Structures are given as C-alpha cells and as structure tokens.
Chains A and B, each alone.
Chain A
Amino acid sequence: MITLRHQIELESIFLISIVAALSLFFVVQRNNQGVSVPIVSVDSPLPMESPEQNIFSQISPDGTKEVIMKIIRNEDDTQTHSFFTTDTSGANEKYIFTRTLEKEANMTIPYNTWSSNNQYFFIQENAKEGTNIFAFKASGEAFSDTEQYFDVTGLFKKKDTGNNFSEATGWASESLIIINTTKEDGTKGPSYWFEIPSKAIIQLSTEF
C-alpha cells in the first residue's frame, strides 16, 4: 500500500512537472513570438543613381569635410582614380593620391571613410586578388618620409594573425579602424583594431 501510494504521488509529481514544463515552453514561445505590427503604408523610393558619374564623394559625419574621387577613363581602358579632400564649402582642396587600375578593378570611398575627428580617412581598392584598404591623413601630408599612406590590408597580412582580412567597416574612435576577418575554414573570425599612426593591430574580444 505504501508502495502504491508512493507510486501515485510520483505519478502526480511527474504529471504536474510535465504540465509545468509545457506551460513554460508555451509562455516562452509566446514571449518570443514575432508579431507584425501594421504601420503607416509608405512608398519606398529607390535611391537616385547616375550610371555615368565619374566623380564620387563622401561627406564627414559632421558635414564639414569631403573626400572626392575623380575617375578618368584612359584610352587603353585603364581607369585613373584621383583623390582629394576639401571643406564642404569647396575651400581648402588638398590633392591626396592617384592610382591607375585595369578595367576589372576599381576604387571606392566607403560610407564610414572619415575618422571621427576628420583627421584621417581610408579608401578601398577592389581587385581580382581581393580588397585593399589604404589610410591617409586628410591634410594630404605623408605619415613619414617613406610612407605617404598606410596599406592597412598589407600590414594586416604581414602581422600573420592566422585570420584573413574580410572588411574594414569604419572607425571605432578617432584613430582606430575596425577590421573584420574570416578564419581559414571560411567562418567569421575575430575583429581587430588598426591603430593610426602607430600601425598597431589589436585583436578584440567583441566581434563587429
């Protein structure tokens, strides 16, 4: 009889536990359930783009400076990319850099090109071999007698971190470029800071 009583009690506890677990499951599901909230119906106009533009620019976050890229198509099908910085008023234009590339390659000014204090900017080269990032002083001055700019991707490869450069997303501060990487197996690797002007490469615990 004692055994039977214990058995019934155990069954009861088991049943209540199952019901409690099910309730928990449903309540968690409900709390995480996605709901579609209807909001004002709006049209989403596509951004206007002109396919034949040969001048591109990117304004600094505070709206005071611009990086300008002028592209000239040469007769041999190569393209010459020239970079300038200027105040948004048009004053203080500084010549920065020129590079001529085969037609398969190009250069772009990333959205987050400017450092947060407008002292530096970086540009991106998209070639068959991969992406290259070059960082410059906005003033047009060289970093040293031998370095007009920093080849960020080249320096990152030299560091041999065991991870492959993936992208430079922007600036974490006035002097830190954020670098994302991939591991050898193709999965996302850790993020790094590339510090200017020290050229230090710092691995982060946070992934960007």
Chain B
Amino acid sequence: MYKCVYNSKGMSYKKIKKNRQSVGYYLKIYFISVFVSLAIFTVGSFFKPQFSCANSATCISDLSINVDNNAVGIFQGRKVIPPKVDLAQAISESSVLGVRVSNSEKHIYIDLSTQTLYAYEGKTQIMKTLISSGKWGRTPVGNFNIWLKLPVTRMAGGQGADAYNLPNVQWVMYFYRDFGTHTAYWHNNFGHEMSHGCINMRLIDSRELYAWADGPSSESRGTPVSVCDQFKEPGTCIQKNPII
C-alpha cells in the first residue's frame, strides 16, 4: 500500500504519501460508516414488536361463528363450564341494546394503564368500564377499526400449563388480526391484566358494546378502536410504539 517515491535529490516522500493515503482511507471509512448507519437505521425501523396472534390455535382457522353448548372449557389448567348460548335469542337481545344517542362519530378507546375502556359518540361518553388486557401476550397499541364482529366463537391457544380452550366466547369484535374485545366468562378480575392479548370484558359490557359498535360495511370501515398506553385526558391518547 505504501510506495516509496524519490525526488531528484533522492529524498523520500514517504511521509507525505502516507498522510495522503490516510486521509483517503478515512474518507472511505467515513462513507462506509455513513452507509452502515443508514442501513442499520433503515433495517432496524422494520423490526418493531411483531404481533401475530392472540389465540394461537384458532387465530386463522376459527374466525367464525361457533356455538358448542356441550363443550367444557379449559383455562389456567382448570375446567370451565361455558355459558349455554342461544344464538338467535342473543342476536335479537343485542339489536335491542344497539341504540345510538347521536349521529356523531363513534370511537372506542382503551387505556392500558388503567385497564379501562371508553366508548364515545362524538363528545358523549357512552360507556366507561374496566377491562382485562394482555398478560400472557401483549395487547397491540395503535389505531384500528373493527374488521369483524362475531356473536359467538371459540378461542384456543397457549401451550402446556398455559393452554386454554374456550368455547362460546360471546360478543367478539376483532380490531387487529384476532385481537379484539369480547366477553370473558372464565374469570372476574377486570381492571387487571388477564388475557393473551385481547380485551376481556364482562358479559353485560361486551354485549352492550357489541350492539352499539359497527362492523365494516361496503360504505365505511368499522368503528375506530384506539389502544392507548395512557388515555390521559380527553383528546389525547398516548401511544408508545404504535403498530398502526
């Protein structure tokens, strides 16, 4: 790399040459560094936390209406007796509850810090209730729309001691993949994290919310759902690293 060059007096330019090479070399290193940092920054931006499924066993295969009044559920290694569901009656009850108070835009907000769900029509608060968000799987933070409503379905997932299989889960509203709001009949620990990523609600609350909220139609998207790390005050939804 270092050549010896002599002038007419036979003196070496070695030192000057070495300095010139160093500057060029460092310039090259500088550009490589810039390239590396840009590459890391660009690629790194794509590596945000990934959310695949809330219910690993049913998230793709079972997003459909499913009633099984003879099945026994499993949660936390314990047998759970699911409620009997009369689908026709349930749907007619929920349609009676689905009354609007205004024509303002509907919006559901979930505050993960206080484990509280709020429903609004414009500025009018329709509902405020305690929920249970993800404990064994994170609830995705972001701004979504309800993309599927199911009056009843089955949810299953987990592994080993954490495996669960819950038939007759009612009033399900998916807002991101298979993450959604729904009834949790297997526990009563609302106000505390208790789910695999979904928003667990009491039956009385989830039924009312289901009746009130809209699924997608040919003209519009479903009711917006904002999952906030903190719903600090009206008008502000603090979201750290929202996925959407």
Contacts and interface: CB of A to CB of B under 8 A. Distances in A.
Interface string B34-77: 10111011001101100000000000000000000000000110
Contacts of B144: none
Interface string B106-129: 010100000000101011010010
A40 B193 CA distance: 26
Interface stretch (A77-85, A96-104, A136-144, A165-173): A165-173
Contacts, number: 162
Contacts of A38: 235-237
Interface of B: 1-2, 18, 22, 25, 29, 32-34, 36-38, 40-41, 44-45, 47-48, 75-76, 78, 80-81, 83, 105, 107, 109, 118, 120, 122-123, 125, 128, 130, 135, 143, 185-194, 202-204, 226, 229, 233-242
Contacts of A60: 188
A26 B80 contact: no
A170 B187 contact: yes
Nearest to B25: A8
Contacts of A111: 130, 190-191
Given A35-B240, A36-B238, A112-B191, 16 more contacts: A5-B1, A8-B22, A23-B40, A26-B41, A34-B240, A34-B241, A40-B123, A42-B235, A43-B234, A62-B203, A170-B190, A170-B192, A172-B76, A172-B187, A173-B80, A174-B81
Contacts of A115: 188
Contact of B40 (A5, A24, A31): A24
A31 B47 contact: yes
A169 B192 contact: yes
B189 A170 contact: yes
A174 B82 CA distance: 11
B44 A27 contact: yes
Contacts of A206: 135
A43 B241 contact: no
B239 A35 contact: yes
A23 B203 contact: no
Contact of B36 (A16, A114, A169): A16
A89 interface: no
A208 interface: yes
A12 B36 CA distance: 13
Nearest to B185: A116
Contacts of A1: 2
A171 B37 contact: no
Contacts of A91: none
A40 B235 contact: yes
A47 B36 CA distance: 55
Contacts of A26: 41
A27 B189 contact: no
A208 B190 CA distance: 11
A19 B33 contact: yes
Interface of A: 1, 4-5, 8, 12, 15-16, 19-20, 22-24, 26-28, 30-45, 47, 59-63, 111-112, 114-117, 169-174, 176, 178, 206, 208
A20 B29 contact: no
B233 to A, nearest CB: 7
B203 A33 contact: no
B45 A27 contact: yes
A116 B188 contact: yes
B119 to A, nearest CB: 10
Given A12-B25, A32-B241, A61-B185, A42 B37 contact: no
Nearest to A39: B237
Contact of A23 (B44, B122, B233, B236): B44
A208 B136 CA distance: 11
B240 A171 contact: no
Given A40-B105, A40-B122, A173-B76, A178 B29 contact: no
Contacts of A47: 128
A20 B40 contact: yes
A63 B81 CA distance: 17
B192 A42 contact: no
B226 A37 contact: yes
Given A16-B36, A19-B33, A43-B123, A32 B44 contact: no
